[in-house]
Structure 1
Amino acid sequence: MTDAPIGIFDSGVGGLSILSALRAALPHEHFIYYADNANAPYGERDEGFVQERCAAIAGDLIGTHGIKALVVACNTATAAAIQQLRDIWPSLIVIGVEPALKPAVALTRTRRIGVMATRGTLASAKFATLHAGLKAEAHFVLQPCDGLAEAIELGQTPLVQELCERYTNAMGKFGSGAAQIDTLVLGCTHYPFAADTFLKLLPDEVQLVHPGPAVARQCARLLRGAGLARSSGAGGVQWLSSGPIEPLQRMAAAQWA
């Protein structure tokens, strides 16, 4: 099983932000990336549909490709289906993502943190539990970002710019002063691809946080603990998609050009 691949999936290209961190932390591993772009975005789908798709994709990655671990590289999918996947395949390493509230608490100085995410993530019980456990540590300004993941997925640059500006304006004042937001959590795996846009809109002192590095560390820890980590040889990525594969290939080429 050591040489078996690691499966990773998202509703589209957003999970590439997680894959990038995984490849940096685990350079010898083989990955299979599945973009369910025929059904994107998950954040605007109902929970039952997301659970059904997650189970189907996981089943294919396990049954057809013999993966040794699965990374659910989508906040909405993690919130809706991570426990279901662990119940169905209890012996498989299954790693999800969640908005990086805990790292943001460690970074903030003003104790005001902005959280951008899909409505599905913000409405989930998993997010509610995470948020409730940290309310005493900081004040969180929660902002649903309808349409942003889809605009990033489709490469609609002017719309991405418009939506980023709209949602940051809706959250209030950013900066290092009292009662200003000094840390912004990008709570959807698509959003790091708009990081340059956010950085242009926000004061220099505002920090952006996303879950990629934490997911990569957790995956590496679990693989090594199970004796499943590859320690030599070149790694690589196989690309799969439920819809047109060109957007995935284009984004991946830009990511690792």
Structure 2
Amino acid sequence: MASLNYDWRDPSLPIGALDSGLGGLSVLREIRKALPLEDLLFACDCGKAPWGDRPGSWIEDRVMKIAGFLTAHRVKAIVVACNTATSAAIDRLRAEFPFPVIGIEPAVKPAVRMTKDGVVGVLATTRTITSNRLESLIERFAGNDRVIPVACPGLMEQVEAGEFHTPKTRRIIEKYVGPLIDQGADTLVLGCTHYPFLADEIQAVAGKDVVIIDPSPAVARFLAQRLTEEGSIRKTAGASAISRFWCTGNPDARTETLQKLWSPEVRMESLEEAWPPLRDEL
């Protein structure tokens, strides 16, 4: 386990979060709602996204490098706001760092509890759909219900491009969601952190009676619980809670989408310039 040169239980320290791209902002916004007094640092790998077709060892190494950047900023917790990264690297992160490390995974358990017709659809990236973690969730919780995993290539890219309500986005959603509804799915799990930004379009395609489950609020609640248990939750406000954002690739190209998803006042900073270990990597 890494030896940190700071007291990570200090309540004044920030919370770090990471993702392959901008989808993790869906988790971060729920953290902001649940923990409005906390400073938040978000680092994403837009220049190398998507991670879904990368080898697991590459993803694990990449996650550890970004986690190193966050710990250099003295974080008191790391949220892995990415299903793919959680599957590939959460165990190593927890072995490496003493502070809370919170991951995210498809919400199969609550979906099975909520389905009335016994058919649940899981929308996710190809790597998440084929992961042992998802297979284990289905085996543990599906019971007699039918859980249908669907890989959704293209949806992440629409979010990264800021195309939330375009005809192209609607066509892609119809391609994946339509067959699930035809098979009787009455509950859909958003198994990628990008997809909550498309929830309105997904709901429109699925129909108003279909339940859509976003696991992000549960992640934020669990983070708050862990910080409370460790005595590191911030209970008094500073001057104002800050939010900072870094990405690999061209930060200017991502700032417009960031501002749509978060706030017009924020901007994206260069992760490679801030953290040299991420430079020049294939």
Between the aligned partners of 1:27 and 1:128, the Cα distance in structure 2 is: 35
Partner of 2:63: 54
Distance 1:49 1:23 in 2: 30
How far is the alpha carbon of 1:243 from its aligned partner? Answer: 1.7
Verify the 8 A CA contact 1:154 1:247 in the aligned structure 2: no
Q: Hey, what does 1:176 align to over in structure 2?
A: none
Tell me, yes or no, if the aligned pair for 1:23 and 1:29 is still in contact at 8 Å: yes
Say yes or no: does 1:235 pair with 2:241.
yes
Change (3 A) 1:247 1:191: farther
C-alpha deviation, 1:7, in angstroms: 0.5
Q: Residues 1-257 of structure 1 correspond to what in structure 2 (within 5 A)?
A: 1-62=10-71, 64-89=72-97, 91-136=98-143, 138-156=145-163, 157-173=166-182, 180-233=184-237, 234-246=240-252, 248-257=254-263
Amino acid at match of 2:116: R
Identify if the C-alpha distance between structure 1 residues 250 and 126 changes in structure 2 by more than 3 Å, giving closer, same or farther. same
Q: Do 2:44 and 2:248's aligned partners in 1 also have CA atoms closer than 8 Å?
A: yes
SS in 2 for 1:48: helix
What is the rounded CA distance, in whole Å, between the counterparts of 1:169 and 1:80 in structure 2?
30
| Root-mean-square deviation over aligned CA pairs | 1.5
Following superposition, the deviation at residue 158 of structure 1 comes to 3.6
**TM-score w.r.t. structure 1 length?**
0.92
* Aligned partners of 1:35 and 1:248 also within 8 Å: no
Structure 1 unmatched runs, 5+? 174-178
CA distance in 2, matches of 1:95, 1:201: 32
Aligned length: 250
**What per-residue deviation string (whole Å, max 9, x for no partner) do you get for residues 23-57 of structure 1?**
00000000101111011111222211111110100
Letter in 2 for 1:66: R
Question: After TM superposition, where is structure 1 displaced by more than 6 Å over at least 4 residues in a row?
Answer: none
Tell me the residue number matched to 2:273. Answer: none
Aligned partners of 1:248 and 1:20: how far apart in 2? 17
The one-letter code of the counterpart of 2:229 is G
Once residues 116 and 24 of structure 1 are traced to their aligned partners in structure 2, the CA distance between those partners, rounded to angstroms, is: 25
SS at match of 1:15: helix
Using CA pairs under 8 Å that are at least 6 residues apart, name the structure with larger relative contact order, 1 or 2.
1
Q: Which TM-score applies when normalising by structure 2?
A: 0.84
Residue deviations 1:156-209 (CA, integer Å, cap 9, x gap) = 434322211111123342xxxxx6211110100001111121122122100111
Q: Percent identity?
A: 39
Paired residue secondary structure (2:22): coil
Q: 1:247 to 1:102 in 2, by over 3 A?
A: farther
Structure 2 counterpart SS, 1:133: helix
Distance of 1:49 and 1:124 partners within structure 2: 15
Query: Which whole-Å CA distance do the structure 1 matches of 2:141 and 2:257 have between them?
Result: 34
Conserved 8 A contact 2:161-2:257: no
